């Protein structure tokens, strides 16, 4: 046979010859690629945009969820979140109205802060604040101080002007609403008073920072004290017939806020996943496995995950952000770039219970400086040195305390999502998913408030906690980022956004914002 003819026979016969490979060959090819990619994996090889998006979203969501400053979860029963003053109570004016030397101002603050848990403790606290005041007095008026027995309690509404311009001050006093004057008691340390020539009035001499003597008059009222302070050498104390009381920042909230902060400053550790250097898994690949990268071949995948989620609940009176913990499993059907996923989740959610405690406590409402004696100032002829003692003033004060308890709710949830593979690069892939989630309330643990204060008389405790619905529907949106660790399994990180289509509370207030939550799913998935 001619050699050229032989060549032609084969060329003609086999040129362009094709044959379909076995079905499993693509799995072998993709498995080989996967092995290579895992063994040569490097974060820097991943698409920087997606890695940036993934890292930023994970960090942002983690910060939002785990930042203790944004977490206002109340702890068990007796946690005072806020104290609402009774109508007419003006807080912190005492400090604002002080126009006296700094030293005295400091004392004033000391005397009006803290918790008046008991009378004895108040006395102990305040008796320590005893000072000697050096007051310059005009010699011509020295004889007026002969019968001085106590110092002045200055109404706060006089404020600075009363100390600076006695003339105006006197005018103002006359027009001043007595109810405001009365018991809005503040510190007025370096002060001297004398009994006013008019009955029922006290003329006051105040020494301002420039050393000038200022005189003011004010209405006096018989002190309505019910404590042993009555027995002290007090001529008169200004007490309003209408108990409009200045309770300066003295309530429990300051004291409790530190406690609350400590309780909420739990640090959560997150982001440990990426600390170590990535090492390619030493795994033997089974080339006959049916679970390699499937390419366009449909396949199933099952995932188990855990997700902390921060949910913002809008309520009639307040908005609270509470943590939920969700554990779930999901089965997904993947076909080409699309996937459908259904799952079952158990959600353990926290929420606060709201209570309003209406009570009365016997509080310090201010103080006055009792003059114990005086001696001539040897260094400053014509001046005397007064020895004064701060004496607290107490009265019954009505409080409305907002108390919160922590409630727990357990839900069974069924998320159903569809997803699209937005990108894939080697062992990294990202899906955008969305779909509804149906929640059914399995269990609720709502604590009753147990409020006890030995110094308080409780009038009423009202429960403002809204009732939770038994079912709810949410819309879930997430970006699932998957890292293939081996031919069959990998791990996923999935920031999620959950929007509730209705309030979880059983109320008809449609103006309330629907709750929403953000979380981060982390888990493992297995290709079947």
Write out the residues near another protein by the rule CB under 8 A.
1, 3, 6-7, 9-22, 25-26, 28-30, 32-33, 36-37, 47, 293, 295-296, 336-337, 421, 423-426, 429
At closest approach, how far in Å is the CB of 421 from another protein? 8
Helix (H) or strand (E) holding 331: strand 319-335
Q: How far is the CB of 487 from another protein (least distance, A)?
A: 13
Exposure letters 337-373 (e unless 16+ CB within 10 A, then b):
eebebebebebebbbbbbbbbebebbbbbbbbbbbee
Token output for 450: 């147990």
Comparing CB distances to another protein, the nearer of 51 and 423 is 423
Name the token pair of 275: 């600390």
Reported as half-sphere exposure (CB side, CA atoms, 13 A), residue 260 has a value of 22
Residue 128 is encoded by which pair of tokens? Answer: 């320590």
Q: What are phi and psi of 60, to 5 degrees?
A: -65, -45
Give 201 or 337: the residue with its C-beta nearer to another protein.
337
Residue 354 CB, nearest approach to another protein (Å): 53
H or E stretch at 263: helix 252-264
3-class state of residue 62 by DSSP: helix
Q: Which is nearer to another protein, 6 or 501 (CB)?
A: 6
User: Closer CB to another protein, residue 293 or residue 525?
Assistant: 293
Instruction: Please report how close the Cβ of residue 413 comes to another protein at its closest, in angstroms.
Output: 31
Q: How far is the CB of 43 from another protein (least distance, A)?
A: 14
Q: In the complex, what is the shortest distance from the CB of residue 496 to another protein, in angstroms, rounded to a whole number?
A: 25
Are 112 and 94 in contact, with CB atoms under 8 Å apart? yes
Nearer to another protein, 328 or 426 (CB): 426
Task: State which residue, 203 or 429, has the beta carbon closest to another protein.
Answer: 429
Q: How far is the CB of 255 from another protein (least distance, A)?
A: 60
- Give the shortest CB-291-to-another protein separation in angstroms: 14
What's the CA angle centered on 408, arms 404 and 413, to 5 degrees? Answer: 140
Backbone angles phi, psi at 350, to 5 degrees: -105, 150
Residue 253 CA: distances (Å) to CA of 113, 118, 286, 492: 11, 17, 65, 43
CA–CA separation, 234 vs 218, rounded Å? 16
Count CA atoms within 13 Å of residue 409 on its CB side: 23
Q: Which is nearer to another protein, 28 or 84 (CB)?
A: 28
| Pairwise CA distance, residues 325 & 455, whole Å | 39
Query: Which of residues 293 and 409 has its CB atom nearest to another protein in the complex?
Result: 293
CB nearer to another protein: pick between 334 and 406: 334
**Using an 8 Å Cβ cutoff, are 173 and 216 in contact?**
yes
CB of 492 to another protein, least distance (A): 16
**Measuring CA to CA, which residue among 166, 62, 90 is closest to residue 495?**
62
- Comparison of 131 and 424: residue with beta carbon closer to another protein: 424
| Contact criterion met (CB below 8 Å) for 483 and 270 | no
d(CA 401, CA 451): 10
Closest CB to another protein among 18 and 460? Answer: 18
| Shortest distance, position 283 Cβ to another protein, whole Å | 18
Q: How far apart are CA 314 and CA 277, in angstroms?
A: 42
- Closest by CA to 87, choosing from 179, 223, 188, 221, is 179
Instruction: Give the separation between CA 467 and CA 506, rounded to whole angstroms.
Output: 5
Residue 293 beta carbon to another protein: minimum distance, rounded to whole angstroms? 5
Nearer to another protein, 1 or 317 (CB): 1
Q: Considering beta carbons, is residue 19 or 267 the nearer one to another protein?
A: 19
Spatial separation of the C-alpha atoms in residues 476 and 493, rounded to whole Å: 15
Residue with the two structure tokens 């004889």: 143
| Of residues 438 and 491, the one with the C-beta less far from another protein | 491
Give residue for tokens 């003819």. Answer: 5
CB of 20 to another protein, least distance (A): 5
| Nearest distance, CB of residue 21 and another protein, angstroms | 5
- Cα torsion 131, 136, 139, 144: sign: negative
- Measured CA to CA, the distance from residue 414 to residue 304 in angstroms comes to 14
Write down the least CB distance from residue 299 to another protein, Å.
12
Which two tokens mark 374? Answer: 């005086």
Residue whose C-alpha is closest to residue 413's, from 446, 378, 441: 441
């Amino acid at each position: 046979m001619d050699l050229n003819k032989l060549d032609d026979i084969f060329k003609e016969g086999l040129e362009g010859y094709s044959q379909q490979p076995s079905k499993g060959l693509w799995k072998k090819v993709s498995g080989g690629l996967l092995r290579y990619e895992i063994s040569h994996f490097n974060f820097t090889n991943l698409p920087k945009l997606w890695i940036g998006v993934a890292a930023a979203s994970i960090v942002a969501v983690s910060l939002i969820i785990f930042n203790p400053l944004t977490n206002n979860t109340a702890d068990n029963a007796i946690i005072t979140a806020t104290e609402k003053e009774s109508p007419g109570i003006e807080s912190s004016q005492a400090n604002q109205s002080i126009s006296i030397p700094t030293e005295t101002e400091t004392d004033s603050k000391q005397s009006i802060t803290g918790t008046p848990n008991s009378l004895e403790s108040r006395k102990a606290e305040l008796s320590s604040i005893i000072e000697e005041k050096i007051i310059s007095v005009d010699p011509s008026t020295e004889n007026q101080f002969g019968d001085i027995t106590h110092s002045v309690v200055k109404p706060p509404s006089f404020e600075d002007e009363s100390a600076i311009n006695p003339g105006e001050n006197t005018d103002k006093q006359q027009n001043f609403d007595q109810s405001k004057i009365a018991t809005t008691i503040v510190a007025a340390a370096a002060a001297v008073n004398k009994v006013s020539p008019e009955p029922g009035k006290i003329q006051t001499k105040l020494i301002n920072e420039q050393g000038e003597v200022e005189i003011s008059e004010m209405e006096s009222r018989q002190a309505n004290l019910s404590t042993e302070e009555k027995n002290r050498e007090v001529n008169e104390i200004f007490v309003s017939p209408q108990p409009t009381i200045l309770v300066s920042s003295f309530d429990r909230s300051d004291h409790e806020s530190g406690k609350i902060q400590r309780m909420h400053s739990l640090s959560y550790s997150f982001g440990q996943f990426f600390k170590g250097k990535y090492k390619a898994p030493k795994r033997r690949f089974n080339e006959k496995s049916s679970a390699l990268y499937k390419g366009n071949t449909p396949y199933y995948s099952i995932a188990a995950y855990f997700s902390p989620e921060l949910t913002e609940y809008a309520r009639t009176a307040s908005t609270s952000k509470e943590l939920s913990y969700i554990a779930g499993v999901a089965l997904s059907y993947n076909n080409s770039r699309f996937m459908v996923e259904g799952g079952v989740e158990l959600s353990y959610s926290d929420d606060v219970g709201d209570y309003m405690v209406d009570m009365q406590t016997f509080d310090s409402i201010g103080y006055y400086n009792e003059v114990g004696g005086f001696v001539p100032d040897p260094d400053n002829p014509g001046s005397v040195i007064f020895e004064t003692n701060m004496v607290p003033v107490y009265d019954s004060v009505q409080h409305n305390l907002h108390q919160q308890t922590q409630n727990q709710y357990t839900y069974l949830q069924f998320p159903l999502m569809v997803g699209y593979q937005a990108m894939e690069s080697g062992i990294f892939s990202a899906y955008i998913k969305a779909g509804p989630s149906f929640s059914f309330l399995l269990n609720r643990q709502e604590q009753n408030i147990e409020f006890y204060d030995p110094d308080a008389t409780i009038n009423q405790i009202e429960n403002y906690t809204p009732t939770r619905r038994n079912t709810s529907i949410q819309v879930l949106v997430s970006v699932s980022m998957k890292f293939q660790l081996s031919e069959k399994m990998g791990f996923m990180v999935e920031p999620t956004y959950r929007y509730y289509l209705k309030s979880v509370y059983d109320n008809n207030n449609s103006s309330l914002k629907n709750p929403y939550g953000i979380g981060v799913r982390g888990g493992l998935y297995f290709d079947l």
